[in-house]
Amino acid sequence: MLKIVGYTDRPSVRPGEGLAFKVSCEGGAAEYDAEILRLICGDDSPQGPGFKSDPVAASVNGRYPGRKQRINCGSFGYVERGFVTHDHTGGFTLAVVIQPTWLTKKADQALLACRAVDEPGRPGWSLLLDAAARPVFELSNGHHDYAIHLDLAVPEKRWSLIIVAVAGSSVTISHRLLTPLPKEGAVASMTAPFPFAIPRTRGLPVTIAAELASVEGERLFTTRHYDGKIESPLIRPWIDDPESVGTIDSLFAGCYARWDFSQSIGSQDIVDASGHGRHGRLVNLPTRAVTGHNWKGQTLRWSDRPDLYGAIHFHCDDLHDMQWETDFSWTIPADLKSGVYAARVSCADGGEDFLPFFVLPAKKAPKAPVAFLASTFTFMAYANSHHGYEDALSEVCYGALLELGPAEQFLKERRDFGISLYDRHRDGSGGVYSSWHRPILNTRPKRALWNFNADLHVVDWLTETSQHFDIITDDHIHAEGVELLRDYRCIVTGSHPEYHSTEMLDAFDTYLQNGGRLMYLGGNGFYWRVATHSDLPGVIEVRRGEAGTRCFELPPGERFHSFTGEFGGLWRSNGRAPQTLVGVGFVAEGFDENSHFVRTEQSFDPRAAFIFEGVGRDEKIGDFGVLGGAAGYELDAADPELGTPPHALVLARSVEHSNVFLLTPEEMLAGFPGADAIENPKVRAELVYFETGTDGAVFSTGSITWAASLCHNSYDNNVARITGNVLRRFIDPRPL
C-alpha cells in the first residue's frame, strides 16, 4: 500500500507563478521530507535507462509535519439555505423524479435531505431509498427519530415519481411508476401518523443525492450517497392527495423551492425556478446534459431542447477536487529552466511519491528551438484508471497474465481517489469528467511505461543528446492557442497524445500552415475530442459515442459535451480525423509483443533523404527497445480517404505483428474473419512525412513504442538516428 500521496493544485506553471503542494501521509507518518527535482527519465525497469533527475535548490525543500487528509467522494447538490417553509405547522410536500442506477449496493441512498449538522441528533428530515430500495421518509427532532417507509422496492433504471406530504401530525408517502408495464400497479402510497411536532428546519441547507454529515470550513462531508438520475426536486405547500398526482409538472405552481436542472446545464449551478432565489451548486461533478424522464429520442443534442434534459446523474464515486490543505507553496523562480519537475515526498515508513508539474518558460523569455508537448489532457483522461487491470478481457488483450503494481493495488481498495475516463462508475455508467485535483497515481515516474512515464523517454533522449528544449502542455495550448506554438521551430509530442480540444487542433492547424514543424512520436494520437470549462480549471470532459476503441459507449442522447455543447467522440466522427493533421490515424492495437519497421520505396524519395542519413537500405528499424520494438501497442497508418495529404510520403511500415494485434472497430464496418495482423495487411504502423503550408512539415511515427526505443545502445540506434535527423532538419530554418 502507498504510504504517502499528494498533488499540485495545477498541472503547469510559468516562472513567477505559485504552485501549492498537498500531501497526505496515508501510512500515518508524523513527518516527511520534500525536495523538488527536475525529472529526466522515470524508467527504472530492468531494460530501461534508470531513474534520472537533477536536484533543485528550492526554498521549499525540507521536512514537514505529516497528516492524513480527508476525502469527500461522491457528488451532490447543495443549497445553503434551502428550506423555506414559513409555517411549519401547515406542513409541506416534497417531490422528486428519480431513475436509480445502483440498487444492488444495498445501502441507504438519500434523494433529498435537510439536516442541522451542528446540533445533536441532526434534527431535520431525509427522503431516501433504503437498503431494500424502498422509499423512506425520516424525521428527527434531535431527540427522537421517526421513519415511514413504503413497502415497495423502486425499480432500477426506470423513472419513478416520489412524493412525500407532511401534515401537522401525519405523513403520506407515494410512489408512481412513470412508465408502468402492463398489469403493473402504477401507484402505491401509505399514510402514517408521527409522534412529535415537525422540527424547525427553516434556514437549514438542503442536499440533493446525499445527506450532509459535517462541515469543515469550506469543505462539506456527506453520507448516504445516491447513484442515479434525479429530476425536478421541489418543496411546496402541503397537498392532501399525493397519490393522485400524475406528473411532477402539476406541482410546479406555488413552490417554496423548485430546482430545475434543465437550466444552466453547462455550469455547476442549480437554479431555483420557484422565484424564491434558493439557488444552489453542485459538488464533485455529477454528470449533466443527460436525458430526463420525458426524453424519447426527440433530439440528440441537449442544447436544442434543454427541457428534455432536466436530469442530473449523481454517482457515489464522482470526484472533482479533494480540497486538501496545502502543505507548502512555491513561487517558481524566474531562472528555473523550463522542464518536467516533481516534488519528491518521502517518509520514514518507506513511503515515496512524486507530485509532477510542468514548467513552461516565461512568456517573454527567449525560447528554445524545440518544445516538447506534455500531454496533460491525456494524463487526466487516464487518471487513476482501473480499466487496464479490472476489465475481464485485459489478459486476453495483453496476451499475458496481469501484474498489479503498488498503485494499482492501492486504487483497487481506494475508490475515493476517483475514476478515469476509461472507467465505469460503480453503477455501471461511463465516466465523462476527470480532474487534476487529486493524486494521479499513474502520472508518476517509476510506474508503468504508459503516457507520462513513457513520455519521459523522449525527455531523456532530448536531454542525453544535449538538445535545448522547452516544455509546453495541452492545457496551455488550449488556453493560448497558436501564440504559444509559434515561438518554436519544432514541436515534439510524447508517445500517446490522444486527447485534444477544438482550440488545440485549431492551434496546430494554424501553426503548420504558417511554417511550424511537428514531430508526432506516438500512436493513437489526436483521437478523442475534449471539452473544458473556464470555471473549472484542471477538469476535462470527454463524451464517448458510437465509434472508436472505447471502454463504454454513452447512452443515446448523451454524447454532446455539457461544458461546451459540442458533439463529443472521435475527431474522426467530427470531420477532423488525425490523418488530416499528422498524416496518420489509429488503425490497430495489440499488447503482447512489439515489432519493427521496414523501409518503403517512398523512403528513397529525395525529399526524405535527410531522414534516412546513416540508415541502410535493408535495416530493420527499431527491432529493439525497452518495450521490445519500436512498432507497438497502438498503431497509426496513412489513409487518403481520411485526409492524409496526397503528397505525403509513407517512409516505412511495421511488420511481423502477432494475431493479438487487431484492427480497431472504426476500421471495420462489419466484423469479418481476418482482422488480425497475421491475415490483414492493414494492421500496421506507418512512418509518414509531408510538407505543409508555407514551409511547415510533419513527421509521424504512428506507434506508441517508438519513444521506448530511443535509448537503446546508449542512444545510438536507427530509431534515435531517424528521430535526430528529423529534429535537426526541422529546427533548421532553411526551407525544406
Site residues for Fe ion per CB under 5 A? 498
> Where do runs of H (alpha helix) occur along 465-616?
474-480, 482-485, 502-513, 578-582
- CA 365 to CA 144: how far, in whole Å? 67
CB of 634 to Fe ion, least distance (A): 6
- Taking the least distance from each CB to Fe ion, the nearer of 12 and 375 is 375
CB of 720 to Fe ion, least distance (A): 25
- Taking the least distance from each CB to Fe ion, the nearer of 126 and 495 is 495
CB of 382 to Fe ion, least distance (A): 7
Work out whether strand 370-374 and strand 490-492 pair parallel, antiparallel, or are unpaired. Answer: parallel
- Taking the least distance from each CB to Fe ion, the nearer of 498 and 558 is 498
Cell of residue 155, nine digits: 425499480
Buried/exposed code over 53-75 (b: 16+ C-beta within 10 A; e: otherwise): beebebebbeebebbebebbbbb
CB of 199 to Fe ion, least distance (A): 52
Tally Cβ neighbours within 10 Å of residue 693.
14
Tally Cβ neighbours within 10 Å of residue 18.
11
At residue 480, what are phi and psi to the nearest 5 degrees?
-110, -15
Buried/exposed code over 184-220 (b: 16+ C-beta within 10 A; e: otherwise): eeeebbbeeebeeebbebeebbbbbbbbbeeeeeeeb
- Which is nearest to 730 in space by CA: 687, 705, 695, 694? 695
- CA 192 to CA 202: how far, in whole Å? 24
The β-bridge partners of 282 are 77
- The backbone region for 625, taken as left when phi is positive above 0, alpha when psi lies in -120 to 50, beta otherwise, is left
- Taking the least distance from each CB to Fe ion, the nearer of 85 and 451 is 451
Work out whether strand 160-166 and strand 18-25 pair parallel, antiparallel, or are unpaired. Answer: unpaired
The β-bridge partners of 597 are 621, 654
CB of 378 to Fe ion, least distance (A): 7
CB of 496 to Fe ion, least distance (A): 6
- Taking the least distance from each CB to Fe ion, the nearer of 344 and 386 is 386
Instruction: With beta carbons less than 8 A apart as the criterion, state whether 551 and 387 touch.
Output: yes
- CA 390 to CA 396: how far, in whole Å? 12
- Taking the least distance from each CB to Fe ion, the nearer of 124 and 525 is 525
Cell of residue 452, nine digits: 507520462
- Taking the least distance from each CB to Fe ion, the nearer of 423 and 498 is 498
CB of 633 to Fe ion, least distance (A): 9
The β-bridge partners of 5 are 24
Please, which residues have CB within 8 angstroms of residue 281's CB and are 6 or more apart in sequence?
Answer: 77, 78, 268, 269, 270
Please, which residues have CB within 8 angstroms of residue 467's CB and are 6 or more apart in sequence?
Answer: 370, 727
Per-residue HEC secondary structure of 107-118 comes to CCEEEEEEECCC
- CA 552 to CA 563: how far, in whole Å? 20
CB of 450 to Fe ion, least distance (A): 9
CB of 455 to Fe ion, least distance (A): 13
- Taking the least distance from each CB to Fe ion, the nearer of 498 and 686 is 498
- Taking the least distance from each CB to Fe ion, the nearer of 101 and 664 is 664
CB of 548 to Fe ion, least distance (A): 10
CB of 122 to Fe ion, least distance (A): 45
CB of 524 to Fe ion, least distance (A): 5
Tally Cβ neighbours within 10 Å of residue 249.
10
CB of 452 to Fe ion, least distance (A): 13
- CA 110 to CA 129: how far, in whole Å? 6
Instruction: With beta carbons less than 8 A apart as the criterion, state whether 125 and 201 touch.
Output: yes
In the chain, the amino acid numbered 507 is: A
- Which is nearest to 148 in space by CA: 161, 137, 132? 137
- Taking the least distance from each CB to Fe ion, the nearer of 470 and 498 is 498
At residue 221, what are phi and psi to the nearest 5 degrees?
-115, 130
- Taking the least distance from each CB to Fe ion, the nearer of 10 and 543 is 543
- Taking the least distance from each CB to Fe ion, the nearer of 231 and 498 is 498
Closest residue to Fe ion in the complex (CB)? 498
DSSP 300-323: S-TTT-GGG--EEEE-TT--S---
- Taking the least distance from each CB to Fe ion, the nearer of 258 and 424 is 424
Instruction: With beta carbons less than 8 A apart as the criterion, state whether 625 and 712 touch.
Output: yes
- Taking the least distance from each CB to Fe ion, the nearer of 43 and 498 is 498
CB of 498 to Fe ion, least distance (A): 5
CB of 721 to Fe ion, least distance (A): 28
- Taking the least distance from each CB to Fe ion, the nearer of 498 and 566 is 498
CB of 256 to Fe ion, least distance (A): 48
- Taking the least distance from each CB to Fe ion, the nearer of 460 and 498 is 498
Please, which residues have CB within 8 angstroms of residue 690's CB and are 6 or more apart in sequence?
Answer: 583, 645, 647, 648, 649, 697, 698
Work out whether strand 499-501 and strand 528-530 pair parallel, antiparallel, or are unpaired. Answer: parallel
